[in-house]
Structure 1
């Protein structure tokens, strides 16, 4: 007889049901992300586990009533878990009554995280199109060096912009980058006195530090580098490293670009506490526009979309 709290005999099949398709009475054997784990006491005085299980389509509460303490030792919050159980209706809400549960070491965490609705290949194409709108030799060489970095491009496609704010899903960084770059291109057409090469470049690189800010498991978490340094400092390091591969990227260009990156959350975020160029001010406003509007659409008006 199978241990009632051990892992099911095999992980879920590729056609396993998603949370969005579950109905009362369904028998479930699948892999989910565990995003909540609490040990509680029933009215009878026996322990049970209260869980939240997630996949890309949604979340469902789950309960482990039998041998809860034994089950608790088999996995932690933030793990991917293989689960067998039955969907029940409790107080007009679906809930999963878990018979067996254990950590799953073979699943890909990225398969359980929310992802952008936009086509990432299409966004990649827009990114390259925007880079081609930069004609200054120094900035063009810098962007070429960044776009030629295969590992950076992969993280640029994967990273979110935040964990709970705007664009808080895989691919969010690329979506936001293209949006701010597009706004920058439009702003330069409306205000031809802006240095379009500087502003478009700044728009494309301002959040590059987010490629190193996150880790990916059952949830999107902050990396140690992200916690200690933040994405602005991490991004400046990435840009500076690429600038060494751009011969025409002289000191003046590096300084102007660094100032835009440093102030893209506002002048108060920078050491000198004021904007030193119209391009820096424009980037701040354009970044805030996309972040706040996207945040309002995703979470409601009133969210501070800065990230």
Structure 2
């Protein structure tokens, strides 16, 4: 899976639940296997868990890959306009289905894990240091991104591209009736990102991921059989998360697969002008497409190739 393209520098923005863990596993396998991918920083954001738990979860996955050299930065702890304390519960209260994973030799103070700079500052610094070379991989609410471009608007012209897991394209919801979780968790931030950034933006929406029907038998008896410390942990987490469900849905790793291997993964995609609904009782956070506008600002991935997705998950598991 080697690619001779120019090096792609990445800021990995995450609310680290189990699906984010697979995404991180995949992109670091790519960094190990392909010289043109480099993760410069991991920025953490509220969403699947509190930021403190997101930091711990991220450190555990990095430790399992022997990559604790990658710096972690603390980001936004709540939405831009918090209506209430909202934490996703798909993966328990800690983002890892409340599985106990903290090893005795790990730091007891998360300040020993994170860098002194915060997420907004490092986004600015890295974009300025690497103009037109930084790809933002966004797996959670877009609060850090919105804060960065509102605090330092000069960086907007120098971001290479943005890849977003979130939103919806057919009115389906998993937070409200018509809203996807990541956008619902901070609709204002999503709206700022979509309406402020001029660089290419790619979105993998809820429906794209939800229409994949990978069997749980394949997930646990094929993917889950890989002998890797992170896979063993994720087996335990996802046995809980997928209890009573029919299919396995690797949301965030789909975004990384699309980023790394668009030709292999993307089946259908469309360009639209998109904004975000901020007021709806059942649709706050829903993507709204202006089909009459030719000023497209997002590329929406409608479908991906399922077998290629499974191949890439197995590839990542053997990191």
TM-score (norm 1): 0.23
Greater helix proportion: 1
Larger Rg: 1
